[in-house]
Amino acid sequence: MSKKLIAEVFGTFWLVFGGCGSAIFAAGFPELGIGFTGVSMAFGLTVLTMAYAVGHISGGHFNPAVSTGLAVAGRFSFSELLPYIVAQLVGAVAAAAVLYLIVSGKAGFNGVGGFAANGYDKLSPGGYAMMSAFVAETVLTAFFLIVILGATDRGAPAGFAPIAIGLALTLIHLISIPITNTSVNPARSTSQALFADGGAMGQLWLFWVAPIVGGIIGGLIHKHLLASDAR
């Protein structure tokens, strides 16, 4: 169990450091910025690479909503759910702390700004309202779980799951960065909100509730309608 939790710490650290780091440092860099597309790819690549690196140890969740959805689908033990979520939060917050340490070393530093945090209304990149954010986060997390569960189903081709999962997360970000800055992951949202300037902490509840609800919905849909042994 300790090795599983360590794997989740490292995997979630890499997801936040790579995904949010690309948004903080590279997305809007003058003339060379990677933009929304580059950030979307960065998040997908973090999951793809760590799924191959440590997925065989912990299952490669790196996300409380994923762990919850897998438990609901009967593919993960509820008894391990809380330790996994704690490990994911540790990894995410550690990554955000390192990002803060790096960004604070920039010449003329006077605050981290939004720090790639998630939000709605004024904190939404596109100015989307709370209901839009809630629907987007719920639906996208549900489909993320459907992809994860389908790609790892016993009837799926072996060895390709990390590719499908990484590409799914890339697509999710391409859709929803303008809406919420894309969460679908409460650990990722928590870590950035802790350090961000502004009101991200006041909106953090949505980025726990919507992804968890979406994870449960996705887990139930796959379990009862799409799994190899679904009846």
Each residue's pLDDT tens digit, 86-118: 999 999 999 999 999 999 999 889 999 999 999
Using pLDDT thresholds of 50, 70 and 90, give the confidence band for residue 229. confident
**162: nearest Cα among 14, 80, 56, 13:** 56
Contact present, 208 and 141 (Cβ < 8 Å): no
Mind listing the domains of the chain with CATH numbers? 2-225 (1.20.1080.10)
For 80-90, b where at least 16 C-beta lie within 10 A, e where not — what string?
A: bbeebbebbbb
Distance (Å, rounded) from C-alpha 117 to C-alpha 124?
A: 9
pLDDT at 158: 87
This prediction has a pTM of 0.95
**109: nearest Cα among 197, 174, 8:** 197
Using pLDDT thresholds of 50, 70 and 90, give the confidence band for residue 228. confident
Q: How far is CA 128 from the centre of its chain?
A: 20
Asked whether residue 31 carries a pLDDT value surpassing 80, the answer given is no
